[in-house]
C-alpha cells in the first residue's frame, strides 16, 4: 500500500547548478510592497535544469 | 529539516532543503513525526499500537516505515541543508547589479490615510514631485548598472504617482526610446489610490504598465475609515467605478487590488469578499505596517483572527475554483514546479543591492520603506552608491544571516523576509519581524494546501 504521494516540485539542490540568472522579479516589487516573500516568484530563466 | 501540518483532511510534509512536498496518509504522518528521534523498531511498534484497532497490520506499518526511509535515502525527506556555506556566493552573483527601481515620482498625496507608512506620501520630509530630468537620469542609472540583466523593473510609486502623471508619460516615452538600443526590457508598474484615474490614465496604463496596483481596502466602511481626502471624506465611491473601468479595459488581468488590513478589520476576508462582489479577481491584502503603538497596529488578538482568516480564505479559493469562479490571492500564488531557484531563495528581496528606491530629487535608498531615514541613504543617481558601508550591510543579508531563520522551516519560502520590517522591529536588518513571520508561515501553509487541493481536484 502506498502511504506517500510526492508532488512534483522544483529540485532546489539541482537549481543551484544553473540558478542565479537574476531575471526574475525583485521580491516585493510591483505588488505587496510591505510583506516580502519569494515563494510566489516565477522563474524567468531561459536555461533551467531539467526538472 | 521537515515541516508537517494538517489542512482539512490533507496531511502535508515539506522537506525544507530539497523543496520536496509529500502528501501522506495518517500512518505515514505519524511515522515521519517519530522517524528522526527513535529507532525503527520503536517507531514501528508505537505506530502499530496506535493503529492496530483500525485493522492495520504490523507488516503494513513496517512497509510504511520503509517508504519513508526510501524518501530519506533519495534526498527528498530529512535532507540536509547545505546551502548556508554557499549562500553568500550565490547572492554575490548579482553584486554590483541594479535591476529594479522604485521611483518616488510624487512625495505628495491627494488622500490623507492615517495608517500610511509613507506619512501621506511625504516620507517625513517635504512635499515634492520628481522632474523629468531626474526621472531620465534614474533610468540611465538603472541601465548603466544593470549589467547583462535584460528585464528591468520600474515602479511608479509615491505618495500618489498620478499627481505627476505627465512626467510619468514622458518618462515612459523616453524609456521606450532607449530600451532597444541597450537590449533592455522595461517593465513598469503603477501603484495608485485611483482618485485621478480617467480615460487618459486608463489608456496609458493599459498600454504601458505591466502591472497596476490599485489600493482598495474592501468594505466601504473599512476603506473609508482610513482612505479619506483632506476634507475627511471617504474615497470609496469615487474610486471603485474607476478601478472597475480600468480593470475591465485591461481584460481583467495584470493588476492587483491591494488592500491593507489593520486593527480595524482583522476579519479581512469580508473585505476580500467585497472585492470579489465588485468583480475584481486579482487580489492582495496586506497586514498594516506601522509602529506597535499606532491605533491601527494589529494586536495579538487580531493576529489570531488573521490566522484563521487565512485558512478561511484558502477554503474560499478552493470552493470558488470548483464553482468555476476562480480568483487569485497574491500570497497564495505559488508555482511548485517552476518557482524560484535556490539563488533567489537564499538571496532575500534584493533591497539595497539589486533593488533601490529613488526620491523625487534623486537620492537612493535601499527600498521604498527606508526612504526618509537619513542613515539609510545610499547615494544618488548622479554619483551612484557612495555610502558603500551601508550597501555592504545589505549585500550581506542572505537568509542565513538571520539567526532565527536558520531553524525555521519557511526560510526558503521567505528568504529572510522584509529588511525594513526587521529593522523597524529590531533595529537590525538581519533581525526578524516575528508577527510578520507568524502570518507568513500561515500563508505558506495555506498556499501549498490550495495547490494540493487543486491538484487533487484535477
CA distance B229 to chain A (A): 22
| Residue carrying C-alpha cell 504522518 | B29
Strands B355-358 and B363-365: what pairing? antiparallel
pTM: 0.94
Nearest residue on chain B to A6, judged by CA atoms? B22
Residue B385 contacts A, CB cutoff 8 Å: no
- pLDDT at res. A27: 62
**How crowded is the C-beta side of B85, counted as CA atoms within 13 Å?**
3
Give B-chain residues touching A9 at CB under 8 angstroms. Answer: 19-21, 336-337
Selecting from A10, A30, A32 the residue whose C-beta is nearest the C-beta of B339 gives A10
ipTM here = 0.88
Selecting from A16, A33, A36 the residue whose C-beta is nearest the C-beta of B342 gives A16
Pairwise CA distance, residues B90 & B198, whole Å: 45
Selecting from A26, A35, A51 the residue whose C-beta is nearest the C-beta of B355 gives A26
Pairwise CA distance, residues B322 & B454, whole Å: 9
Between B34-38, B267-271, B285-289, B390-394, the lowest mean confidence (pLDDT) is in B285-289
Residue A50 contacts B, CB cutoff 8 Å: no
Residues in chain B: 458
Pairwise CA distance, residues B251 & A30, whole Å: 19
Pairwise CA distance, residues B247 & B243, whole Å: 6
* Buried b or exposed e, range B209-227, using 16+ CB within 10 angstroms: bbbbbbbbbbbeebbbbbb
Residue among B341, B371, B408, B436 with most chain A CBs within 10 A, to mutate? B341
Cis peptide before B159 (omega within 30 of 0): yes
* A3/B337 CB distance under 8 A: no
Q: Chain A neighbours among B 2-31 (CB < 8 Å)?
A: 17-25, 27-28, 31
Kindly report, residue by residue over B40-97, the tens digit of the pLDDT. Answer: 999 999 999 999 999 999 999 999 999 999 999 999 999 999 999 989 988 888 889 9
Kindly report, residue by residue over B169-224, the tens digit of the pLDDT. Answer: 999 999 999 999 999 999 999 999 999 999 999 999 999 999 999 999 999 999 99
Amino acid at each position: 500500500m502506498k502511504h506517500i504521494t510526492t508532488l512534483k516540485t522544483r529540485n532546489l539542490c539541482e537549481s543551484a547548478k544553473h540558478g542565479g540568472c537574476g531575471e526574475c522579479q525583485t521580491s516585493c516589487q510591483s505588488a505587496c510592497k510591505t510583506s516580502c516573500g519569494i515563494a510566489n516568484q516565477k522563474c524567468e530563466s531561459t536555461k533551467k535544469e531539467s526538472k | 529539516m521537515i515541516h508537517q501540518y494538517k489542512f482539512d483532511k490533507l496531511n502535508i510534509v515539506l522537506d525544507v532543503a530539497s523543496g520536496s512536498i509529500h502528501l501522506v496518509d495518517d500512518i505515514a504522518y505519524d511515522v515521519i513525526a517519530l522517524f528522526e528521534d527513535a529507532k525503527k523498531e520503536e517507531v514501528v511498534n508505537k505506530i502499530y499500537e496506535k493503529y492496530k484497532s483500525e485493522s492495520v497490520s504490523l507488516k503494513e506499518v513496517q512497509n510504511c516505515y520503509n517508504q519513508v526511509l526510501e524518501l530519506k535515502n533519495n534526498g527528498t525527506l530529512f535532507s540536509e541543508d547545505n546551502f548556508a556555506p554557499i549562500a553568500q556566493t550565490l547572492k554575490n552573483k548579482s553584486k554590483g547589479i541594479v535591476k529594479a527601481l522604485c521611483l518616488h515620482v510624487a512625495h505628495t498625496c491627494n488622500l490623507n490615510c492615517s495608517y500610511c507608512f509613507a506619512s501621506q506620501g511625504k516620507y517625513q520630509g517635504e512635499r515634492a514631485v520628481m522632474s523629468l530630468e531626474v526621472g531620465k537620469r534614474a533610468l540611465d542609472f538603472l541601465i548603466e548598472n544593470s549589467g547583462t540583466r535584460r528585464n528591468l523593473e520600474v515602479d511608479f510609486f509615491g505618495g500618489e504617482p498620478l499627481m505627476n502623471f505627465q512626467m510619468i508619460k514622458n518618462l515612459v516615452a523616453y524609456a521606450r526610446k532607449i530600451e532597444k538600443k541597450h537590449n533592455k526590457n522595461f517593465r513598469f508598474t503603477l501603484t495608485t489610490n485611483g482618485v485621478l484615474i480617467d480615460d487618459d490614465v486608463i489608456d496609458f496604463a493599459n498600454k504601458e504598465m505591466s502591472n497596476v496596483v490599485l489600493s482598495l481596502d474592501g468594505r466601504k466602511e473599512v476603506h473609508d475609515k482610513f482612505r479619506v481626502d483632506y476634507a475627511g471624506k471617504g474615497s470609496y465611491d469615487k474610486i471603485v467605478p474607476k478601478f472597475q473601468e480600468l480593470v475591465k479595459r485591461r481584460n481583467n488581468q495584470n493588476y492587483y487590488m491591494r488592500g491593507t488590513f489593520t486593527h480595524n478589520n482583522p476579519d479581512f476576508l469580508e473585505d476580500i469578499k467585497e472585492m470579489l462582489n465588485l468583480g475584481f479577481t486579482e487580489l492582495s491584502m496586506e497586514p498594516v505596517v506601522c509602529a506597535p503603538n499606532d491605533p491601527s497596529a494589529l494586536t495579538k488578538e487580531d493576529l489570531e483572527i488573521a490566522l484563521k482568516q487565512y485558512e478561511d480564505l484558502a477554503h474560499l479559493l478552493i470552493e470558488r475554483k470548483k464553482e468555476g469562479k476562480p480568483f487569485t490571492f497574491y500570497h497564495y500564488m505559488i508555482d511548485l514546479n517552476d518557482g524560484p531557484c535556490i539563488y533567489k531563495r537564499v538571496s532575500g528581496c534584493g533591497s539595497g543591492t539589486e533593488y533601490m528606491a529613488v526620491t523625487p530629487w534623486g537620492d537612493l535608498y535601499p527600498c521604498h520603506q527606508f526612504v526618509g531615514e537619513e542613515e539609510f541613504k545610499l547615494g544618488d543617481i548622479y554619483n551612484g552608491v557612495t555610502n558603500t558601508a551601508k550597501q555592504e550591510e545589505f549585500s550581506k543579508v542572505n537568509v542565513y544571516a538571520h539567526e532565527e531563520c536558520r531553524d525555521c522551516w519557511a526560510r526558503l519560502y521567505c528568504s529572510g523576509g522584509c529588511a525594513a520590517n526587521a529593522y523597524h522591529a529590531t533595529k537590525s536588518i538581519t533581525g526578524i519581524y516575528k508577527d510578520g513571520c507568524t502570518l507568513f508561515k500561515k500563508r505558506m501553509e495555506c498556499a501549498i494546501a490550495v495547490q494540493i487541493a487543486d491538484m487533487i481536484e484535477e
